[in-house]
């Protein structure tokens, strides 16, 4: 599989994805560490290597190499550390093969040759560490209730998409979503029912968006959706279908009881020449227009939208954005 290019949008990433990657990667990393230790033992003790150690293509037989080849998650494959680690892993095996061949032939090993191998091992370790950190960061910024990313993962991702749109000239839309009268559910059925509604709505969004679209839980009963390569006008029918489907979705809250919920949606462009917080504020203003118009509606941001519909949201996003920049 080929890695994604910088000008291709990244697919979404969920808690389940990270857990599955860790489950597959952990044994491969352990095996890799044991292999490095065995190669050093061969070099230090001048013990005869295994036949596989001097055969070409050792990186493909290794568990870590198989993980690189078989890992299908497009988000991880899009990370710079993934490509670099793949290349370094191939290099480490090629250098180890040459060293083992020298031992097998009882030939001397040049210091520079060994130092090149050691440097390659160290560089690979650094790449793998960066890749694992990326996975754990994603876990850390994933909402444990719904399994989708939180606002703290949202802002860097929106900046990435804004910069990509700036390079390519593509248009990206963002949508602010607020569940209608959600407090009534908590008051009428309890907070466990409210949690079930949030889980169901999150699953519905993820299951009904396109491959490269993404949903985040902004907080409480608010969500943010991103639709790359889509203008707000083109996104409108997509979001309206999402709205209608959500209103018809039966949500099981236990005790053989289903309820339904609606949401208000506000659409705006992710402007490539403006701070992300500005675009979030416009989507939020459009969403509040939908609320004022009667709820369970989609509204596009226009110049006439009330940008002060909910003071504090854009400012909170800006604070997050500045924290991310400084971090």
Instruction: Name residues whose C-beta falls within 8 Å of residue 291's C-beta, 6 or more positions apart in sequence.
Output: 178, 180, 264
Helix boundaries (H) for the chain:
15-45, 58-61, 63-70, 74-77, 80-104, 111-140, 151-168, 182-189, 191-208, 232-247, 276-292, 313-326
What tens digit of pLDDT does each residue of 195-238 get?
A: 999 999 999 998 899 888 999 999 999 999 999 999 999 999 99
- The pTM of this model reads 0.67
Query: 114's torsion region: left (phi>0), alpha (psi -120 to 50) or beta?
Result: alpha
Instruction: Name residues whose C-beta falls within 8 Å of residue 91's C-beta, 6 or more positions apart in sequence.
Output: 120, 124
- Given the residues 71, 91, 221, 289, select the one marked as catalytic: 221
β-pairing, 149-150 with 214-219? parallel
CA separation for the pair 149, 217 (Å, rounded): 6
Q: Is the pLDDT of residue 258 over 60?
A: yes
Q: Is 317 helix (H, G, I), strand (E, B) or coil?
A: helix
Q: What integer pLDDT is reported at residue 103 of this predicted model?
A: 96
Q: Is the pLDDT of residue 9 over 60?
A: no
Domains for the chain: give ranges and CATH numbers. 15-140 (1.20.120.30), 149-326 (3.30.70.270)
What tens digit of pLDDT does each residue of 82-118 get?
A: 889 999 999 999 999 999 999 999 999 999 999 999 9
Q: What integer pLDDT is reported at residue 327 of this predicted model?
A: 35
Q: Say if residues 299 and 131 touch (Cβ distance below 8 Å).
A: no
Is 221 annotated as catalytic?
A: yes
Helix axes 111-140, 80-104, angle to 10 degrees: 150
For CA atoms 182, 184, 188, 190, the dihedral sign is positive
DSSP 48: P
Q: What integer pLDDT is reported at residue 317 of this predicted model?
A: 43
């Amino acid at each position: 599989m080929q890695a994604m290019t910088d000008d291709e949008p990244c697919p979404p990433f969920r808690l389940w994805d990270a857990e599955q990657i860790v489950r597959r990667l952990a044994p491969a990393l352990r095996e890799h560490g044991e292999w490095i230790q065995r190669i050093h033992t061969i070099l230090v003790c001048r013990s005869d290597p295994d036949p596989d150690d001097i055969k070409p293509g050792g990186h493909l037989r290794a568990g870590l190499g198989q993980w690189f080849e078989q890992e299908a998650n497009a988000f991880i494959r899009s990370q710079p550390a993934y490509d670099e680690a793949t290349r370094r892993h191939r290099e480490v095996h090629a250098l180890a093969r040459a060293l083992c061949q020298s031992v097998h032939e009882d030939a001397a090993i040049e210091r520079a040759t060994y130092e090149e191998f050691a440097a390659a091992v160290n560089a690979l370790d650094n790449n793998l560490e960066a890749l694992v950190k990326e996975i754990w960061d994603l876990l850390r910024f994933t909402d444990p209730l719904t399994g989708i990313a939180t606002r703290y993962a949202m802002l860097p991702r929106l900046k990435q998409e804004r910069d990509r749109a700036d390079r390519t000239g593509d248009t990206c839309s963002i949508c602010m979503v607020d569940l209608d009268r959600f407090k009534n559910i908590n008051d009428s059925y309890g907070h466990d029912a409210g949690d079930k509604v949030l889980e169901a709505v999150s699953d519905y969004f993820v299951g009904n968006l396109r491959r490269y679209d993404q949903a985040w839980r902004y907080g409480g009963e608010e969500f943010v959706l991103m639709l790359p390569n889509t203008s707000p006008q083109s996104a409108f029918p997509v979001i309206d279908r999402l709205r209608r489907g959500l209103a018809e979705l039966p949500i099981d809250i236990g005790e053989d009881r289903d309820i339904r919920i609606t949401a208000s949606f506000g659409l705006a462009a992710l402007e490539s020449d403006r701070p992300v917080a500005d675009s979030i504020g416009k989507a939020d203003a459009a969403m509040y227009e939908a609320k004022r118009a009667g709820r369970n509606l989609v509204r596009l941001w226009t110049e006439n939208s009330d940008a002060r519909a909910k003071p504090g949201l854009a400012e909170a996003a800006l604070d997050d954005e500045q924290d991310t920049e400084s971090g």
